Amino acid sequence: MSLIPWLKRILRIPKPELLVVGLVHQHQWLDGENSTPLELEQRRKFITRMKELVERFRPTLVLDEIPDTDNKSLIAILPHQPIPIDIPSETKLQKGFNIARARDLLCPYIDSIRERFWLHRIYRETKSLWQPRVLIFVGATHLKSFFYKDLSFPELLRRAGYRVETVDLFNGDWDHSWIWDWKHPIAPVNWEHGSRCCIASGSFQNNDNHCERKVYWKERLATKPK
């Protein structure tokens, strides 16, 4: 049994420093089967930026929202293969958590549960390590708050006592138009979605745009703030 958690409490060692990188997940996967010049240029830019971040932050632990990062250029500059921290894919499918989202939006109930699961996993992965420096990859949308989800993932981490720096590699001087035609060259990424998320009512949404099952709090989504 490790004595590190006990020593950290006795010595009042602060919680780990976290660098949360928000990105478009296609950067974490292999080049598309028919890569365009734009895709290759944007990927080079991404790797250059990540090298700068890794050299500056010097992470000792890398955690990841997705379970299947296979971009060899990215993995080569990290201290180890990223450790996935999301709810397992089988569990998400079983509970109906694999749903389609509108671009640049989260599904309030489901993504709130996922982010709290990540918070638990971060604690589990770091509790026996002495002052780790943790790099975390998440979809860039998780860096933001919304009128229907007013606590962003970085703010959730800060409230839990972590020292958090965020880097947004989605917004700004990027051209992500290539991602809509991107296809994995070996195996398809798990895009299985049983329904869509109804942001306005917090419900699941069928293909006919009918919201059928409530999954979020009525009082939080009854009206949009003025």
* Residue 126 in domain: yes
Between the CA of residue 57 and those of 31, 66, 133, what are the distances in Å?
26, 21, 8
Specify if 220 maps to a domain. Answer: no
Structural domain contains residue 81: yes
The number of folded domains in the chain is 1
pTM value is 0.85
Q: How far is CA 93 from the centre of its chain?
A: 18
Q: With a cut of 60, say whether residue 1 has pLDDT above it.
A: no
What strand order describes the sheet that includes 83-84?
83-84, 61-64, 133-139, 17-23, 163-168
β-pair partners for 135: 19, 62
Sheet holding 196-198, edge to edge: 196-198, 203-205, 211-214
Residue 58 domain flag: yes
Q: Residue 159 sits in which domain range?
A: 4-193
CB 176 within 8 A of CB 42: yes
Strands (E), 85-175: 133-139, 163-168
Q: What percent of the chain has pLDDT over 90?
A: 55
Q: What are phi and psi of 89, to 5 degrees?
A: -55, -40
Name which residue leads in pLDDT, 3 or 113.
Answer: 113
Q: Is residue 194 a contact partner of residue 46, using CB atoms and an 8 Å limit?
A: no
C-alpha 192/C-alpha 184 separation (Å) is 15
The 10 Å Cβ neighbour count of residue 207 is 8
Q: Is residue 215 part of a domain?
A: no
Taking the C-alpha atoms of residue 107 and residue 149, their distance in angstroms, rounded to an integer, is: 9
Any domain includes 88: yes
pLDDT per position as a tens digit, 160-205: 999 999 999 999 999 999 998 888 888 766 555 556 676 554 444 4
Q: Which tens digits make up the pLDDT trace of 122-137?
A: 999 999 888 899 999 9
Question: Facing residues of 63 across strands?
Answer: 83, 136
Residues 6+ apart with CB under 8 A from 61: 16, 79, 80, 83, 125, 126, 129, 132, 133, 134, 135
Counting every residue, how long is the chain? 226
**Residue 59 forms part of a structural domain:** yes
Please determine, for residue 226, whether its predicted confidence score (pLDDT) is greater than 90.
no
Is residue 36 domain-resident?
yes
Q: What is the pLDDT of residues 58-102, one digit of tens each?
A: 999 999 999 999 999 999 999 999 999 999 888 887 777 777 776
Secondary structure of residue 133 in the 3-state scheme: strand
